[in-house]
């Protein structure tokens, strides 16, 4: 993957250049992504100061400006909604944090897209200074324009996404997105307040030697899944395979981001407790699968391509196996062996 050294390209510039290359571009979509980048900057600012609020002696109820301190995930949810509700590009939003569709306020125009998002993924890591992220997915509405979005606008299979991506708040903050023409990564430069292109045309390695899964669930998995993990940890000389390494952060954004760059596989399979898996199809699995596929990877629920699942409800869950194409093939081989 070539790193960009010779040009400084902001995410805005990149989006506009991408848009100029596509037929029928109206500028609507660029403006939408630009608004989202602003929301991510605001969330980033808050995440970076998360520990400070307590350190500066706030009561837990109020911050240093005397404002109510919200939990970070609620804060991120509100920021995205408020940044996106008035641009005229969306006819509705859906968040992992809200049971129902979030409508566009009546005073604003309804646009032709819907936005689905997980405002702050990796909730168990929020309070311990470990990487967390925001995940987003954009679909074109299927109902008539200039009316409020309806459930059917959101319940579309993942291959219909027109853009998706994530922001990872880690040692540095990065925004990675695809609009269906490859995957691009931007690193946030706080000194200029911009996301700058740092990872051009990301391609996932065809095969990697890292597996990423919550292995504490081992005894809840079915036999095929257990056999795969046992095999992953072994040297298998006849297959010319060495034992894989295990890496598991517990923030999907961080685990998938590493998988995208280093190769390997990230899994959140079904188990006897969560027989449909844990991760949400619309807010987590679809957008991350779209990114990984666009980088040359694969995403499966064990039987079929994640992006072809027809969603039936907003908060539907799915098992997920995502990563380098050959690693996902390996997992499926074990899951489907009789």
For the CB of residue 273, give the shortest distance to ligand AHM in the complex, in Å. 10
Binding-site size for ligand AHM (CB under 6 A) equals 12
Angstrom distance (rounded) from CA 155 to CA 142: 10
For the CB of residue 261, give the shortest distance to ligand AHM in the complex, in Å. 17
- Residues ≥6 apart with Cβ < 8 Å to 272: 220
- Residues ≥6 apart with Cβ < 8 Å to 12: 30, 34, 37
253: Cα within 13 Å, side-chain hemisphere:
30
123 near ligand AHM (CB under 6 A) = yes
287 near ligand AHM (CB under 6 A) = no
Angstrom distance (rounded) from CA 149 to CA 250: 33
For the CB of residue 94, give the shortest distance to ligand AHM in the complex, in Å. 14
Residue with tokens 């391609």: 203
Query: Residues 124, 129, 147, 310: which binds ligand AHM (CB under 6 A)?
Result: 124
Name the pairing type of β-strands 210-212 and 245-246.
Answer: parallel
Binding-site size for Mg ion (CB under 5 A) equals 2
> Which run of H or E residues covers position 174?
strand 173-178
Judged by CB under 5 A, the chain residues 81 through 120 that form the site for Mg ion are 118
Binding mask 120-139 for Mg ion (x = CB under 5 A): -x------------------
Binding mask 255-274 for Mg ion (x = CB under 5 A): --------------------
Angstrom distance (rounded) from CA 111 to CA 89: 4
121 near ligand AHM (CB under 6 A) = yes
98 near ligand AHM (CB under 6 A) = no
74 near ligand AHM (CB under 6 A) = no
Which residues are at the interface with ligand AHM (CB under 6 A)?
96, 118, 121-124, 214, 250-252, 268, 278
């Amino acid at each position: 993957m070539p790193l960009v050294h010779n040009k400084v390209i902001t995410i805005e510039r990149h989006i506009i250049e991408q848009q100029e290359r596509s037929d029928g571009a109206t500028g609507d979509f660029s403006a939408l992504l630009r608004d989202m980048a602003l929301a991510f900057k605001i969330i980033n600012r808050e995440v970076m100061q998360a520990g400070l609020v307590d350190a500066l002696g706030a009561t837990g109820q109020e911050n240093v400006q005397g404002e109510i301190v919200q939990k970070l995930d609620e804060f991120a949810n509100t920021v995205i909604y408020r940044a996106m509700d008035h641009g005229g590009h969306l006819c509705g939003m859906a968040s992992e944090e809200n049971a129902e569709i979030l409508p566009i306020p009546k005073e604003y125009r309804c646009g032709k897209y819907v936005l689905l998002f997980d405002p702050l993924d990796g909730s168990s890591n929020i309070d311990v200074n470990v990487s967390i992220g925001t995940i987003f997915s954009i679909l074109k509405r299927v109902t008539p324009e200039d009316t409020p979005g309806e459930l059917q606008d959101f319940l579309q299979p993942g291959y219909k996404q027109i853009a998706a991506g994530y922001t990872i708040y880690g040692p540095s903050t990065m925004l990675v997105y695809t609009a269906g023409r490859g995957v691009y990564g931007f690193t946030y430069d706080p000194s200029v307040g911009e996301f700058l292109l740092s990872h051009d045309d990301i391609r996932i390695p065809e095969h990697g030697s890292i597996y990423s899964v919550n292995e504490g669930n081992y005894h809840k998995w079915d036999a095929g899944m257990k056999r795969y993990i046992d095999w992953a940890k072994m040297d298998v000389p006849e297959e010319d395979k060495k034992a894989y390494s295990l890496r598991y952060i517990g923030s999907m954004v961080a685990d998938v981001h590493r998988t995208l760059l280093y190769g390997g596989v990230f899994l959140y399979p079904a188990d006897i407790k969560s027989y449909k898996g844990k991760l949400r199809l619309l807010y987590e699995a679809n957008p991350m699968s779209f990114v990984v596929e666009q980088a040359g990877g694969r995403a499966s629920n064990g039987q079929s391509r994640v992006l072809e699942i027809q969603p039936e409800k907003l908060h539907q869950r799915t098992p997920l196996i995502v990563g380098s194409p050959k690693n996902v093939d390996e997992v499926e081989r074990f899951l489907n062996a009789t």
